[in-house]
Structure 1
């Protein structure tokens, strides 16, 4: 993977999940909502199995998910971790803003 592509992807995922998390925190008034939802989003990004298969063919679906997670490249892991950092940063930012007296929605 090209280093420029990696750096742009890291920034993009951080900003994307920071923004989505910030908006969800303002609307739902739940500080850590994006941090809880983020693992499910990562599973949807990584996995090629249908959601229904997790209920119908659970063993196959979870084995496939485990195989896909262990076969991730280090660049992919770094990019996904930057998205998690953005989700956590949005929760911290909302918490600080509320503590300082700003009320959102």
Structure 2
């Protein structure tokens, strides 16, 4: 009877394993974010279990298109800011500005 109480069911063990993996992923993501904000590379996935590493790889793959799109938008905004500054300087100089109406 004592040995039965000490043994955990398989579903409890699997759930505990999943919880431990999620905790490890959360810690890795916090460390990665801190490193990236400092301009460094993210830590390696070597310290994670195989399950946690697989889950994290899937998450990172899902995020990549969003990250790429945000970088594109950031570049577009930077170009718009440059054009706006050039236009501002031209106005301050009194340059003749010719705009085409949208017709």
Tell me whether the two structures share a fold, i.e. TM-score over 0.5: no
TM-score between both structures, scaled by the size of structure 2: 0.31
Bigger relative contact order (CA 8 A; separation at least 6): 1
TM-score between both structures, scaled by the size of structure 1: 0.31
